[in-house]
Structure 1
Amino acid sequence: MARRAQGAEAEAKGGLLLIAPPAIYALLLLLAPLLLLVVYSFLTDGYLEIVRDFTFANYHEAWTNPLYRGVMLRSLIVSLLVTVATVLLAFPVAYFVSFHVEPSRKSTWLFLITIPFWTSYLIRVFLWKVILGYNGVLNAGLMKFGLISEPLTFLLYNTNSVVITLAHAYAPFAILPIFVALEKIDRSLLEASQDLGESRIVTFGRVTLPLAMPGVVAAVLIVFIPTIGDYVTPQLVGGPEGRMVANLIQLQYLRLDNYPLGSALAISAMGIVAVISAIFLLFTRRYLKGTK
């Protein structure tokens, strides 16, 4: 017993030594900037300098100013729309690859899904700008087939263009975790459900979907969390109507030189995302418990 205890203790020490370098790296590169943002958010902005006077005025301004609240609400709506659209489009693709593609060809399909990663994210955003533009590919095609008499103006520089571009950009991030969850499902469970007289639709709702929920949850979080802080897409294809909170933070930092208010906006956005993510995880956990 003593030897086993010593062996377990040595193994634990070895594990700590193994994870120590990445843990220190994560603390330095993730926790330190976050703490700096928190500190800045409680300081006072001065003329071309930061006054070290503790204040809640930055958070009061971030939460009471109608402009900031409107942009924050728009960012949440855009992120939710992108998340819903991406996951709803990604699930059928992942389901098809997992259940209807031969095992020898699944790697080829996954390879094709990851092709967008070959090009720069910035280039993909510019391509959507070309497609949705006033004289872009979509308008030119619709006019050529006689479906419209003049170019459509609502395709670009608004919330719609931001949602379309972000949904396309984050589609592979949603497909892959859902595919992994579907691959782990024991096919015999589906056969047993159908042998007991359940239809394919009922089997999907009572067996496939609950077992695939970990992948769906991962896809939702992977898409929702970064999209609310996206800066490039709203800047290039959003226009004044499609600006999001990241653009507002960039304005405070680089244009107005107001680091405290920019930090308060950033911390507020992270707090809102954390609360919404926690509520989503709570509801999905209850859903999974209810299906058992």
Structure 2
Amino acid sequence: MAQTPSTEARAGLKLISPPALYAILMLAAPLATVLLYSVLTGEKGSVSLPLTLDNYHDLLTKPVYRALMWRSLIVSFFVTLATVILAYPIAYFVSFHVAPSRKALWLFLITIPFWTSYIIRVALWRTILGYDGIFDSVVMGLGITDTQPNILSNGVLSIIITLAHAYAPFAVLPIFVSLEKVDRSLLEAGQDLGESRWMTFLRVTLPLSLPGVIAAVLIVFIPTVGDYVTPELIGGGKTPMIANLMEVAMLKQRDQAMGSAIAVGAMTIVALISVAFVLWNKRYLGGRK
């Protein structure tokens, strides 16, 4: 017996209701709470009425908030750029030059950094980049410089290096998946028509793999803007980003209203940038026609 549209609709609602309820409780409710807190008045470690936009006014007018937001965006931009530039050749090599029977092994090796705690990896970078660390010893041992570079003293640079290493696998995997979908016959056709390997890559491979590149950009850019652990451990708290300011407002100053406003402001800026980037590249999301 055929089901009526209303019966099918009810069956569909029953099917999606558990995950929808979970999403509402776990995602929408906390977000709504943060939005509400951001327009309340913060006082003596609590929030109260009346509703106010003073928190957002401070967020837009006080130089410290603008400076840390710009620093977070700049750091995230360079982390994303470095990660994608380094990840693309790795993904290309695995996709085009590794035997199909060994690709799973290579992908397995790429995920090895996830076997250790993120905090441990950050601590190791302190050892590598710090004063009289591994990098300083190698550079001075090769006679490149007589003074110790101590990259860790440059908070922004050391944060970029650490975050680029931490998020590299997140960039490799979506680019690899996108490259695997490239029709190899198109590459052969381009070379049969007299194109060099380099021009075939620029005109065929790169455009067809851009959906994976776009995914990698978003996967890396969005979380690195709000990263808290790396600036705290690598920079020793001397090079804070917007998430560190949020932690200060929430836990040390106990101003939940201002901390919520900072969170909402950061989410809004990241969302606008991400949507603009996606719209700018929308013709590549489903593969270039």
TM-score normalised to structure 1 length: 0.93
Q: Please, which moves more after superposition, 170-179 or 238-247?
A: 238-247
1:124 Cα deviation (Å)? 0.5
Distance between the aligned counterparts of 1:78 and 1:247, measured in 2?
A: 14
Matched ranges for 1:140-151 at <5 A: 140-151=137-148
Q: Select the residue among 18, 21, 28 that pairs with 2:15.
A: 18
Distance between the aligned counterparts of 1:156 and 1:9, measured in 2?
A: 65
1:141 Cα deviation (Å)? 1.9
Q: How many matched pairs?
A: 289
Instruction: Verify the 8 A CA contact 2:208 2:284 in the aligned structure 1.
Output: no
Q: Is structure 2 residue 96 aligned with structure 1 residue 68?
A: no
1:201 Cα deviation (Å)? 1.8
Specify whether residues 8 and 105 from structure 1 end up closer, same or farther in structure 2 by C-alpha distance, changes over 3 A only: farther
Corresponding residue for residue 166 of structure 1: 163
Corresponding residue for residue 193 of structure 2: 196
Instruction: Verify the 8 A CA contact 1:206 1:291 in the aligned structure 2.
Output: no
Corresponding residue for residue 29 of structure 2: 32
Distance between the aligned counterparts of 1:219 and 1:12, measured in 2?
A: 36
User: 1:105-153: per-residue Cα shift (whole Å, max 9, x none)?
Assistant: 1111101100001001111010101100102111122223333323223
Distance between the aligned counterparts of 1:263 and 1:234, measured in 2?
A: 20
Specify whether residues 161 and 201 from structure 1 end up closer, same or farther in structure 2 by C-alpha distance, changes over 3 A only: same
Corresponding residue for residue 227 of structure 1: 224
Specify whether residues 113 and 11 from structure 1 end up closer, same or farther in structure 2 by C-alpha distance, changes over 3 A only: farther
Structure 2: give runs of 5+ residues left out of the alignment. Answer: none
Specify whether residues 98 and 163 from structure 1 end up closer, same or farther in structure 2 by C-alpha distance, changes over 3 A only: same
Residue 30 of structure 2 aligns with an amino acid whose one-letter code is P
TM-score normalised to structure 2 length: 0.94
Q: Select the residue among 266, 276, 287 that pairs with 1:269.
A: 266
Structure 1 runs of 4+ aligned residues shifted over 6 Å read: 287-290
- Supply the RMSD in Å over aligned alpha carbons: 1.9
1:289 Cα deviation (Å)? 9.6
Distance between the aligned counterparts of 1:219 and 1:281, measured in 2?
A: 12
Instruction: Verify the 8 A CA contact 2:208 2:287 in the aligned structure 1.
Output: no
Specify whether residues 214 and 12 from structure 1 end up closer, same or farther in structure 2 by C-alpha distance, changes over 3 A only: farther
Q: Is structure 2 residue 226 aligned with structure 1 residue 257?
A: no
Q: Please, which moves more after superposition, 112-121 or 11-20?
A: 11-20
Percentage of pairs with the same residue: 58
Residue 205 of structure 1 aligns with an amino acid whose one-letter code is L
Distance between the aligned counterparts of 2:122 and 2:33, measured in 1?
A: 31
Secondary structure in structure 2 of the residue aligned to 1:33:
helix
Residue 13 of structure 2 aligns with an amino acid whose one-letter code is L
Secondary structure in structure 2 of the residue aligned to 1:242:
coil
Secondary structure in structure 2 of the residue aligned to 1:84:
helix
Specify whether residues 118 and 200 from structure 1 end up closer, same or farther in structure 2 by C-alpha distance, changes over 3 A only: same
1:13 Cα deviation (Å)? 4.2
Distance between the aligned counterparts of 2:262 and 2:41, measured in 1?
A: 14
User: 1:55-96: per-residue Cα shift (whole Å, max 9, x none)?
Assistant: 110000011100110000000000011001101100000000
Corresponding residue for residue 87 of structure 2: 90
Specify whether residues 290 and 137 from structure 1 end up closer, same or farther in structure 2 by C-alpha distance, changes over 3 A only: closer
Distance between the aligned counterparts of 1:283 and 1:114, measured in 2?
A: 31
Q: Is structure 2 residue 61 aligned with structure 1 residue 77?
A: no
Specify whether residues 154 and 205 from structure 1 end up closer, same or farther in structure 2 by C-alpha distance, changes over 3 A only: same
Q: Please, which moves more after superposition, 270-279 or 137-146?
A: 137-146
